């Protein structure tokens, strides 16, 4: 008995992904995973990293480590924690606030 005339079987076969496509997607996924693993390995063993860099350091830290970004700042300059973007943003905000205070004092 032939399934060529069955519309359901034809519909299922037309919607199926060819094996070659699945195989190529799998090859790409394996390559991407291999690249990601090598990046992790390079970052872990690079010359710019100290030995055992993932453990907590007991050294004292500067004051900037207490600040955490909020989700409201995500993707904005003020959300880049401990970066020059956030420093520039907050410096501009403090300058404008300072100017407002100076203007208020000079008017009083």
**Structure letter (DSSP) for residue 67:** -
- Number of domains within the chain: 2
For residue range 8-19, list pLDDT tens digits in order.
988 998 888 888
In this structure, the answer to whether residues 102 and 76 fall within a common structural domain is yes
In this structure, the answer to whether residues 107 and 72 fall within a common structural domain is yes
Q: Is 2 within the bounds of a domain?
A: no
* Nearest-angstrom CA–CA distance, 86 and 94: 12
Q: Is 43 within the bounds of a domain?
A: yes
Q: Is 57 within the bounds of a domain?
A: no
Q: Is 102 within the bounds of a domain?
A: yes
Q: Is 60 within the bounds of a domain?
A: no
Query: What's the pLDDT at 104?
Result: 93
For residue range 20-77, list pLDDT tens digits in order.
988 988 898 888 888 888 777 666 665 665 666 666 666 555 554 445 567 677 777 7
Q: Is 16 within the bounds of a domain?
A: yes
Query: What's the pLDDT at 39?
Result: 77
* Nearest-angstrom CA–CA distance, 20 and 25: 9
Structure tokens, 1: 């008995």
Query: What's the pLDDT at 44?
Result: 62
In this structure, the answer to whether residues 39 and 72 fall within a common structural domain is no
User: What is the residue range of 45's domain?
Assistant: 7-49
Q: Is 1 within the bounds of a domain?
A: no
**91: pLDDT strictly greater than 50:** yes
Query: What's the pLDDT at 66?
Result: 44
Query: What's the pLDDT at 102?
Result: 94
In this structure, the answer to whether residues 39 and 76 fall within a common structural domain is no
Q: Is 56 within the bounds of a domain?
A: no
In this structure, the answer to whether residues 76 and 105 fall within a common structural domain is yes
* Nearest-angstrom CA–CA distance, 78 and 93: 10
């Amino acid at each position: 008995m032939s399934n060529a005339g069955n519309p359901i079987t034809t519909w299922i076969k037309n919607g199926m992904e060819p094996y070659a496509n699945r195989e190529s997607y799998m090859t790409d996924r394996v390559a991407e995973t291999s690249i990601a693993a090598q990046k992790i390995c390079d970052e872990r063993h690079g010359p710019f990293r100290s030995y055992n860099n993932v453990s907590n350091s007991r050294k004292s830290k500067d004051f900037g480590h207490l600040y955490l970004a909020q989700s409201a700042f995500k993707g904005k300059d003020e959300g880049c924690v401990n970066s020059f973007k956030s420093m520039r943003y907050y410096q501009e905000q403090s300058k404008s606030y300072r100017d407002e205070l100076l203007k208020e004092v000079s008017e009083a």
